[in-house]
């Protein structure tokens, strides 16, 4: 089984010893993305909606670098600092996901890196290995 690290300047650099994504056997496993500006590395202002949008844009940048799109996502996991943000995040999420939407889990967590309000990870399929 081959593993290829996926890296792009369109998403923030990893905050630790992990890859932005790994492609293997036609699948792309994307590490969780916070609402970090890829240039500054800081959480974007504007609350959970702005962070959700930035996190999804970061996620799509990693997928693009792997040769995949939002339409290739089969599973997402969302981590929220406050489950009260569920509806607001859904409103943003819906704009980014293709029909049918991927399978998804959402969890409330005690805290996220850098004080983030949301983190999103994904698994996508692609038709070819690069």
DSSP letters of 32-61?
EEESB-TTT-SBPSSHHHHHHHHHHHHHHH
17 within some domain: yes
Structure confidence by residue, pLDDT tens digits, 24-58 = 999 999 999 999 999 999 999 999 999 999 999 99
**Structural domains counted in the chain:** 1
CATH classification at residue 38: 3.30.1330.40
CA-derived radius of gyration, the chain: 14
- Token look-up 């509806």 returns 87
130 within some domain: no
78 within some domain: yes
Structure confidence by residue, pLDDT tens digits, 73-121 = 999 999 999 999 999 999 999 999 989 999 999 999 999 999 999 999 9
Structure confidence by residue, pLDDT tens digits, 73-84 = 999 999 999 999
89 within some domain: yes
Q: Is 40 exposed, middle or buried (0-12, 13-18, 19+ CB in 10 A)?
A: exposed
- Could you tell me the pTM of the whole model? 0.95
Residue 32, domain extent: 4-125
């Amino acid at each position: 089984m081959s593993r290829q690290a996926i890296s792009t300047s369109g998403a923030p650099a990893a905050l630790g010893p992990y890859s932005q994504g790994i492609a293997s056997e036609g699948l792309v496993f994307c590490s969780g993305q916070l609402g970090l500006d890829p240039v500054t590395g800081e959480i974007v202002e504007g609350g959970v909606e702005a962070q959700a949008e930035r996190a999804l844009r970061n996620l799509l940048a990693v997928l693009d670098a792997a040769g995949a799109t939002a339409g290739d996502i089969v599973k997402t996991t969302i981590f929220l600092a406050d489950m009260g943000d569920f509806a607001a995040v859904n409103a943003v999420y819906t704009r980014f996901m293709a029909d049918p939407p991927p399978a998804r889990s959402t969890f409330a967590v005690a805290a996220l890196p850098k004080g983030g309000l949301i983190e999103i990870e994904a698994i996508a399929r692609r038709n070819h290995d690069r």
